[in-house]
Structures are given as C-alpha cells and as structure tokens.
Amino acid sequence: MRDGIRGAAFALTLLAVAHAPTVAAQNAFIIFPEASLTHQSVKHSGSYEDGRGVVGVSLFYAYDSDKVRFLGEAILHTDEQEIERLQAGWRVQPQTTLWLGRYHNPLIHWNTLFHHGTYLQQSISRPSITAFEDDGGVMQTHLTGGLLEGAAPIGAGELGYALALGVGSDLDINNTLEPRLLFAPHGKRTLNTSARISYRADAFNDNKEAGLLFNRSDIFSEKLPAQDIQQAITGGYLHWEWKQLRLLSAAYWVHSVISLGAQDTSATFGNGYAQLEYGGEQNWGVFARTEGTWGGNSDAYLSIFPDFVRHRNLVGVRYDFMRRQALKLEISNSQVQDGSQRAVTLQWSGGFPFP
C-alpha cells in the first residue's frame, strides 16, 4: 500500500508544480513534533499497570494559488509511519474546490479542525469515535477519491458543504480498519459516500458552527464469514466559542447490517462527546470531556472492536510557552468492552513553520 501512496505522491506533486501559476501563490510547511508518556491502570480479565512512551512528528505542507491547491501530511512516530493525506485540488469557483487524492472523511468534524499533529488541539487525546483507523477507530477516517468542498453566503454567515465519493477501508485479518487505494490488489473497493452540511454564523470565522453529517458505505471483511458489512451513519456537531470558552461536541448514530449467508444481522449504536475548554490570559488552559455510547453492548459491529472506548471522562491542563510549544497533562477514566482503564498522560508538543 505504501508503494502505491509514494507513486501517487510523486504524480500529484508534479501535477501541482506543472500547473501552478507563478503569481499569487502561497505555501506553508509546518512541523508538529510531540513526545508523550502515559501510565495506565487496566482492569481487563485481571488487573495490571503499565507505561508507554510515544515520540513522533507530523509533517504538513499546503500550497494555494488562484486555481491549483495541494495538501500533504505524513507522520513519523515510533509505532507508525504513514502518509495520511495527499490531495490536489482545482478551485472551480472562489469558494468551491474539487479535490482528488487521499483526504480526511468529512463525516468527522474533529479531524477537519485538528489533523494528526496534536499541538493544535487543546487536549492530548481525541474522542474515541474520531480515532484514526490505525489507532483502533471504528469509523473510516480516510477516503481516496474525490471531494467537493464549497460555501454560499447567507447574510453575515455562510452555508458550507462537503461531498465525498471514494474508496474507504476494509477490515483486515486482525479486525482493524485498513484504508484502501483505488487500485489495491485485494478487497472489494466499494465506494464510500459522505456529506457534511454546515452553517457558520460568521463567514470569516469558524468559532460558531453547526452541521449535519451523513455517510453510506460497504466494508469488506477478510475475517467475517460473509465478508460484507453495510453501514449507514448520521450525525451532527456543534462548535461554539464565547469569549474564553469553547465547546466541541458531536453525536453519531451508526447502523450496520452484517450479512451472514441467508441471514442478516443488524444493529444500531450511538456515540457522542462534549469537550469544554477554557483558555486563560496567562498561557494556561483547562479542559474536560465526556464521551458515551448507547446500544453498544448488543451491537454486532462494535463487538469487533473490543478496545474501543465506549465511555470516558477526562480532565486536563495545558500550558503554552516560548514560541508555539505546549505542555499538557491529561487524566482519564475509560470503559471498554470487557474492562476499564485509568490513565495519566504528559505530553510536550509544538508547531514550527518553515522557513
């Protein structure tokens, strides 16, 4: 898979450079390093404690001209190395862009706000329902294909939309969602369709935004007997800032039909989160988040992911210092399918633009 991504990277880079005008062009290259240490206490078929550390960097590049746009993102971590996004866009109209490549599924608003570099988000962790595939996520967070994004003015605000059609993920032999390319040598390569409709109170600021989310997909499984899961997801989100307070929240309803020969098994579960943040004037900030799952105990699809965090409460503090660096401390209490976890995580992160 990585060989195919590298080939696509070279082709899209040539496309962007060959067609980019020499005037009114802007580009940005930002490095997001991070290092974290976690100590957790686990009650899961017995009790034990352990600690782990993660060191890594996220590399982000964006190019923007009158017509041509390009975006790429790669991560290099101690436990993972991957090109996460690689997309070339054509600005059809001033507020409308058609993208081709590998991109974030517009179904998940958290990942639209914050990419893989955790410096941009107030917390260390992200809500479990928004987790990336490699981190045990239950939703398809990456698609490869086409993405149409745009907005239309409504008074002082705007109505935004994102329409995606592409190849999503398959369930591999380890029951982990694995993103596929258009020309992958295996898998059914069925199309994944997603849509996001949003409203911003201020067209030039995303600090007051609400939206509706829709998704329809088929997931090919290498392990399940029927090898086919049909899924429909609906949801909504609210992002609201007022003075030094910010609320990030979303809710999803996931309906899955697993074909088992002549018999189908269907179930629906819901999941939602709300994160409240306060940013002080002296570089200090605090945050708290609650996450919950409804109907998960009887859901056949969710049972495939025993480590998915079904309920979690956490609190944390963030301190920004020097230039574009932050220290964060997060304390959480989580519940998974067969147990519970308590964790304390300390993280340093930064964001450094070049040149």
Which amino acid is located at 344 in the chain?
V
In 3D, which of 171, 189, 128, 191 has the Cα closest to residue 300? 171
* Whole-number Å distance between alpha carbons of 185 and 180: 9
Query: In this predicted model, what pLDDT tens digit does every residue of 86-124 receive, in sequence order?
Result: 999 999 999 999 999 999 999 999 998 988 889 999 999
Range of the domain at 145: 2-354
Dist CA 131 CA 347 (whole Å): 18
Q: Which amino acid is at 339?
A: G
**DSSP-assigned letter for residue 185:** S
What is the pLDDT of the chain when averaged over all its residues?
Answer: 87
Residue 220: pLDDT band with limits 50, 70, 90: confident
Residue 38: per-residue pLDDT: 94
CATH number of residue 315's parent domain: 2.40.160.10
Element (DSSP H or E) covering residue 316: strand 311-321
pLDDT tens for each residue of 1-17: 433 333 344 334 434 43
Least confident range of 2-11, 20-29, 53-62, 285-294: 2-11
Phi, psi of 273 (to 5 degrees): -145, 155
Residue 139 is classified by DSSP as: S
Q: Could you tell me the pTM of the whole model?
A: 0.88
Tokens of 112: 């639209």
Distance of CA 235 to the CA centre of its chain: 15
Of the ranges 56-60, 148-152, 190-194, 210-214, which one carries the lowest mean pLDDT score?
Answer: 190-194
Euclidean distance between CA atoms 233 and 222, whole angstroms: 22
If one counts every other C-beta atom within 10 angstroms of the C-beta of residue 71, the result is: 22
The owner of tokens 């989580």 is 334
Domain tally for the chain? 1
pLDDT tens sequence across 309-325? 999 999 999 999 988 99
